[in-house]
Amino acid sequence: MLAKLTSKNQITLPKAIFSVFEGTDYFDVTHEDGRIMLTPMRVTPARTWSLADAEAYVEKMRRLQLPMDTTDPKVWLERMNTDRSKAVWEKMDRQGITEQDIADAIEWARRG
């Protein structure tokens, strides 16, 4: 089967291949002997948010005067416990990036 690499370095998997991995959102990508290897992965969160975490997050967003589409902590709790959000938090944890680092970066960027 043939798959084209786009100018944005994206490849669409042929339907016959994709159907075998339906429901898989993440793949570990490696190369071996001139071949690209995709291994299905399940992302396990390093952290799960509690309602108290979500409430503190909303309060921090208010304090930093950042725009929010909702101030309902229950909505944020659901959003932060999705697989994609968990993957982002896990990567930040691995790299030692804290919430304070993010707040500091936002504050620095706003100073112009």
- What's the pTM? 0.40
User: Which of 56, 58, 49 shows the shortest CA–CA distance to 81?
Assistant: 49
Domains of the chain: 1-42 (2.10.260), 51-111 (no CATH)
Burial (CB count within 10 angstroms: exposed 0-12, middle 13-18, buried 19+), residue 49: buried
Determine the pLDDT at residue 6. 92
Q: How far is CA 29 from the centre of its chain?
A: 17
Determine the pLDDT at residue 83. 66
Three-state DSSP class for residue 57 = helix
Determine the pLDDT at residue 45. 62
Block means of pLDDT (10 residues each) for the chain, length 112 residues?
Answer: 91 88 85 91 73 88 82 85 76 85 87 80
